[in-house]
Structure 1
């Protein structure tokens, strides 16, 4: 288990009954989490007096019940990185704090490489990994199909004081972007991908992780440099084992480059119980 346990501005305070109680800076939120299948030991006053509570709808989706005023958005820090936080209509806040375990790892890899490193961040969302890689000194290409997420990522880079760093923001379908990079002959020393379980491209193309991930990973092999630093795959797809990601990297990166592969769950510490909340899985190849 890779645990993101170096946060000051974020905390999983308590869990139970399918929900988590979180602190985002000074804002307390209550959100559902499908991994939390254990009961809540006690619904304390803190659970009842949150700033916001996201309620799932029986017909799908859900909505926020805001009990106390909160800013339209606010800022939290992870070490020297800064991020805008905002409750969205689909329960998320614009940041997956468990990914800090990956940010610290990649920053160490980039900073100690002793050479310029180019990073490609695919399915890049609001740019947590982009900010981390740019802060560590890499040049970054950030690719996501959603205009709002790309704009949010730009603002996070600026917020962290990295506006002068070599970061390119691309709003595009990741498959088509990789194909164009193949034709252009562009190469990257590190690739990060956080693919969805299911999705549709702008022309109706269907992405289903179980069917699409391996072919996509294979296509990325043509844009990896001759001296790569790392490859990182994140997944939040239920039912996929970390060993699946390890096997895929063993079949693609390792035969060509050797190196080391690790895989496992990624999680967050729960303050009140001392337990760890599992949040997803990762697979890492590193030189």
Structure 2
């Protein structure tokens, strides 16, 4: 294995925290990866990685070496891409992590356009609502709704600001009444929406004269999945608060009704995020530009 291949292997091991996963991604054996890192450490005269039975982490020297190597590899990848992609359509695998509702209701209906424009890109979606580290998860970028985790150093591009609504099923409202103000929420029930990160239920939020008022309503059902959250509401189990695009169809059909429209929850940002220490590949740049244009020109997909 030559020097650049060994450096690339080393950076992938640091990013994934695993010899086996890095070796698999680069198409080499676990034993070959171990030997290459041993040779790299012997050439440098320092220990780069600390190994335990559960994980692999860089030493202090390894962390410094990783930062320098990442910058070098990013420059090399950018230089190669500038020439190899000249006059050609972007190609290769693109891995995107995003919430299921956003994938199903917004991205998938528009995706044929992306595939027609970039037929040589294979796009792979992974579905999750939790904050992830793209480097460790092996994805190129993530789409996230809501506040960002400031401890996760990523490049963030805001794609849209999503309006939220409070709604309930028609059958629920016929049984419990339609509240006309926040005071009339007494006696109503919610479906609890559990955070994928903390496992705790989100409080309801309402805008009142430029102030956010938070309420916790009693709930007999709790869900940590967006689709299940809306399904529970449609079944008449309580009130929910969701991005408007998620329930636009149900609102249009009358299955769900928005309540307290004068006190909508604060809108939530939608961001596309990717690691800062990698140059965006041509296929990632193509997706970023396409997604930005999609959300800029299609507010009806987001605002009902």
Q: State the TM-score, normalized to the length of structure 2.
A: 0.27
If each structure's strand is expressed as a fraction of its own residues, which one has the higher value? 1
If each structure's helix is expressed as a fraction of its own residues, which one has the higher value? 2
- Whichever of the two has the greater Rg, that structure is 2
Q: State the TM-score, normalized to the length of structure 1.
A: 0.28
Structure with higher RCO (Cα < 8 A, 6+ apart): 2
